[in-house]
Structure formats: C-alpha cells, structure tokens
Structure 1
Amino acid sequence: MKKNQLEIACFNYESAVIAEENGADRIELCENMELGGTTPNYILAEKVKEKLTIKMHVIIRPRGGDFVYSNEDFVQMKEDIQKFTKLGIDGFVFGILNSDGSVDKIRNKELVNLAGSCPCTFHRAFDVVKNVQESLEDVIDCGFKTILTSGQEKNVVEGILVIEKIQEQAKGRIVIMPGGGLRSSNIHLLKQKLEPSFYHSSAITDDSIIASPDEIKSLLIHLQNKKS
C-alpha cells in the first residue's frame, strides 16, 4: 500500500539537518529562496550529503525567472548534473519549457538521460505550461518520475482541483507531488482528495529561511494520521 511521504525544500545546511532530525523522508536542496530556488553551491551540497542519511535531491536551475533557457543556461545545467552525479546525490529537480509554454521534450530528455539512474522531478515550471493535459503526457514521455506542482495556482489549496485531475490522468505512471504554500494548516484538505503521494514544503513559518522543526513534525502527524 502506498503511503504519504514528506520532502522538505531546504535553502541551507541548517534546514537540511532539521529536516532529517525531525523525520522528513527526503530533501530538495536549493539556494536563493527569493528567486524560487536555484542550483545550490557544490560545497554546500557536498557538506549536506556528508551529513544526511535520508535522500537528497538537487535542483538544477541556473537562474531565477522563467523556464525558457538559453544555450548557455542549458550547457550549465548539463555540467551541473554531471558534477552532482559524481557527488552521489539521489535525484534531480528541473524543467525546461519552450517559448510557447509547451514542454521542451528534446532538452528535458537529454538531461534525464544524463542523470542516468538518478530519478528526475519536473519542478513548478509545470505551473506555467499552456496545456496541462498535453504537458503531463510530455513530461511522462521525457522519463521524469515526479511532477512538483501547485495546480497552476499560487498555492496548493487554490490549485487542488487541477492537482486532483492531473493525478487521475496520470494513473500511477508518475508521482504527482503537491507543493507551493503547503503547510500543516492546509495539508488535510489535500489528503482528503488525493491519493497517497509525496508532499513538498519548505516548512518555513516565519521571516527566516530556516525550516521549523515543529512544522515538520506537524506535517508528518497529518500525513501519517498520528495523534499529537
């Protein structure tokens, strides 16, 4: 039987340690929260990898802004994947779009193939694709194992109907991971409508960029149906 699991988006070493110590199943390592997350520094990734025993996925996003990348951006993304693969990380998170809002299948496939045995997540570039149904099929065809999405809205609560429809269309062919404004205060709303899955949250509850231990514990309580 499938079970709910929790991924914490970590923008620093401190959050990664907090995530593991408080029961998270996996982290997504990135930097520059104000830009929505970009490729982390290699030294940071190396330090986190040495410390953690849970799985660590790394975002490959050379800059903030849109997800239509130049040739120079793409070369950087390939180099980063090769570099982090040697570090032994557990997965990659990225997404490339065409200027018309469709999924860039050629370049995404190239990166997925470059990642080899490391599973790849198509990140929230999915939330700005022009056609959700077609894009879902394109992402699956590219070889991604997971889609991180807020249902094309600013947060998962507002996008819950789209997330539900995507999950139904996927029919288990790919993991649909809700993320974007996910907190312990609203996660029960998603659990009521969605099949068991990974859930994604930064677990940040204040003005800092550090994950909250209490928030992670609360998220897990809701996901695992445990009583506090």
Structure 2
Amino acid sequence: MAVPALEIAVQDAAGARAAVAGGAVRVELCQALGVGGLTPSAGTIDQVAAAIGGERVAVLIRPRPGGFVYGAEEIALVASDIADAVGRGAGGVVVGALTIDGAVDTGAMRAWVDAAGQADVVFHRAIDTLAAPETVIEDLIALGVKRVLTSGGAARSIDGVSALERMVQISAGRIEIMAGGGVAVADIASIAAAGVDAVHLSARRPADATAPSGPGGGAPEYDVTDGGIVADAAAALQLSGDGRS
C-alpha cells in the first residue's frame, strides 16, 4: 500500500524549506498557529512559493479566530483571499464553513470552490466541531473538495482513529482523508493503520527568543518548524508503509 503523504503546517519560508528538506510532500501555510491558524500575508505566500514551489503550498484562508459560521462580508473576503492566493501560485487552499445548526455551509463552500478554480480545496478541522464528522463526507465530495483535514472529531487524532477509519471507508477514494490534530511522531503508525491518505502536523518547537518584550509588544516566545521532528515523522510514515505492503 502507498505510504501516506506528510504535510507540515508552517508559518514562513524557513519553515517550508525545513519541512520539505525533512521529507514533507507539501505544507499548509498559515500564520498564528497558536489560535489555530489565520490567513498569511501576501508577502509570505510569495516567499514560500518561491522557496519550495507553489504547487507544494496549501494556504489556509481563515479571516479570524473563533467559530466557523461566517456572514456575507466574511464569505466574500475569503473568496477574494482565495483568488489572491491561487493567483500567487498556491496549489491549494484550506477553508471551512458551517451553518449555525451544525452543517456544512454549502453556499459559502460553493463560492470558495469557484474562487479556487483549478487549485485543490481542502476542508479543515471545522469538521471536527460536528457531533458526527463522518456524516458530511458525502457533502464535501459533492462540493468538489479534494481532501479533508480531520482528527476524527477527537482532541487528538490518535483518539479519533475509529472515526478516521469510517471516513476512509465512506470516502472510497473519492476524497482524501488527512489525519491531523495533536499528532505526535509516536502516534503515526497507529494513525496510518487507519488507511488515511495523509498525516498533518505542525512539527513546532519554541525558538530561542532573545528579543525584548513588554506592554504592547507581546511575549518574546514564538514557534519555528523543527526539521528533526519532520524527518522523524517522515521516517515513521515510511515504516508504516513498509509494514502495510
């Protein structure tokens, strides 16, 4: 069986280079990973696309932290940001919208799929806020979504393996199931055994921050992509693939 692809969430060009050098097939580019990720700047998209090739880059388009129920202005903003990211060479965009009663917002998603054109559309972990995330897989397939990032509805992917297995069965190869959410290298073999198409993690570590901080300046700490963690994750995936072949 094929080895699941490795995707790493990164925040800058240095992180993207470290991810690819460590064995990642692609990256999800965002900013503010500490709040679950937000839309990166245009300049960041340009730098990362130049560093590793835009076809490897899926850009998170999320206009604010908080929930995933969006108004008309926000939906229009996301559509504009999608078109801009794709125009800058991004091979994919990562989005997600829900209705107030806990269903996929198909109107928003259709607008965003249209804005993406030929680029891949990924539905992110908004799916994991639903009581039974596997029940919307058919909706996402019908919308033309390429893959879905999910922990199986659990806080950590390793705890959602049963749901991930159900999603893989439902998908029947029609949409990629990518496991993500609290993934540790030690979990990868068990997660891969669920039959997922890809595994996603952030591979972060705290930077050695020495810059001053204070009122209005924020904390000096920030995270960077750890190429060693990426390499360990890639090796774990390769071993899982060898074990399934």
Query: What interval of TM-score do these two structures reach, taking the shorter chain for normalisation?
Result: over 0.9
- Is there any run of 5+ residues in structure 1 with no aligned partner, and where? none
Name the residue aligned to 2:177.
176
Distance 1:115 1:162 in 2: 29
Q: Is the 8 A contact 2:26 2:57 kept in 1?
A: yes
Say whether residues 1:225 and 2:233 are aligned partners: no
Aligned to 2:219: none
Q: Distance in 2 between matches of 1:34 and 1:73?
A: 21
Report the count of equivalent residues. Answer: 226
2:46 pairs with 1:46: yes
Q: Which has the larger radius of gyration?
A: 2
Structure 1 residues 128-207: aligned runs within 5 Å: 128-192=129-193, 194-195=194-195, 197-206=197-206
AA at the equivalent of 2:235:
I
| Aligned counterpart, 2:63 | 62
Structure 2 unaligned runs (5+)?
208-221
Q: Which secondary structure state, in structure 2, belongs to the residue aligned with residue 114 of structure 1?
A: helix
SS in 2 for 1:37: coil
Question: What TM-score results when the alignment is normalised by the length of structure 1?
Answer: 0.93
* Alignment check: 8 A CA contact 2:178 2:196 kept: no
Which letter maps to 1:214? Answer: G
Q: Indicate the SS of the match to 2:86.
A: helix
Report matched runs for 1:2-81 at 5 Å.
2-53=2-53, 55-81=56-82
CA drift at 1:88:
1.2
The answer as to whether partners of 2:134 and 2:163 remain within 8 angstroms in 1 is no
Give the secondary-structure state (helix, strand or coil) at the position aligned to 1:120. strand
Quote how far apart the aligned CAs of 1:125 are. Answer: 0.4
In structure 2, the partner of 1:215 is 229
* 1:109 corresponds to 2:123: no
CA contact (8 A) 2:38 2:60 kept: yes
Deviation at 1:176, TM superposition (A): 0.5
- CA distance change for structure 1 residues 121 and 17 in 2, over 3 Å: closer, same or farther? same
**Partner letter of residue 14 of structure 2?**
E
CA distance 1:205–1:187, shift in 2 (3 Å): farther
Alpha-carbon distance in 2 for matches of 1:164, 1:109: 27
Q: SS state of the match for residue 147, structure 1?
A: strand
1:164-199: CA deviations, max 9, x gaps? 11111111111000000112111111123x225111
Deviation at residue 140 of structure 1 after TM alignment: 1.0
